[in-house]
Amino acid sequence: MSRGWVIFLVGFLTFFLGFGAGAVFNIYLLAIKSPLVLNFRGSLTFISSILGDGIILPVVNMVAVSFLLNNKKFVSKLNIVLGIIFGVLITIYFHVIQGVKELINWSMPIPWQWNFFGFWHMIYMFLVASLLSLYFIVLLSHIKKNKKINKEFVFIIVGIVIFLLLLKLDYS
């Protein structure tokens, strides 16, 4: 598979797993008048889902994968394992915060009880957090060797910060 297709596939999968599938489920549940979306906020009511998972994170992940493909020499088994460990920790952190603060929605309608949508989003979040963790680990190796920060860094940081601000807005 060519480099361009890999980057496109990452963007598409991020869009589909993070926003597209949830949006389709949300529309279906609205059509059948499911209490899950009538009584709780679904993905189409979160700006962080629509803009963040639908646009920002797919583009951020595409830029991160492009950087990783350009810097394969820094992608080691250890760095992949560390990326996965950080992905697990980030995912646990956000889900513990959701449970502790009782931030209920269609994926966790009762505090600490995630349903299918909650587990779907948990897997998606783990994959994105692991990928971006790997990006930052490889970036540190790149900076150490080349003594400079790549241009993608600012774009990725700004994208993540905007996404987190949207998330904060959704829950404030």
- What is the per-residue pLDDT across 47-79, written as a single tens digit (0 to 9) for each? 999 999 999 999 999 999 999 999 999 999 999
Domain coverage including residue 92 = 3-170
Q: What is the pLDDT of residue 1?
A: 77
Q: Exposed, middle or buried by CB within 10 Å (0-12, 13-18, 19+), for 4?
A: exposed
Domain count, the chain: 1
pLDDT at 52: 97
Structure tokens at 7: 């980057």
Considering only CA atoms, which of 40, 17, 37 is closest in space to residue 29?
37
The rounded distance, in Å, linking the Cα atoms of 122 and 88 is 10
Q: Which residue ranges of the chain lie beneath pLDDT 70?
A: none
pTM across the whole model: 0.92
Per-residue model confidence (pLDDT) at position 148: 85
Residue 9 has a pLDDT of: 97
Torsion of CA 121, 88, 128, 163, to 10 degrees: 80
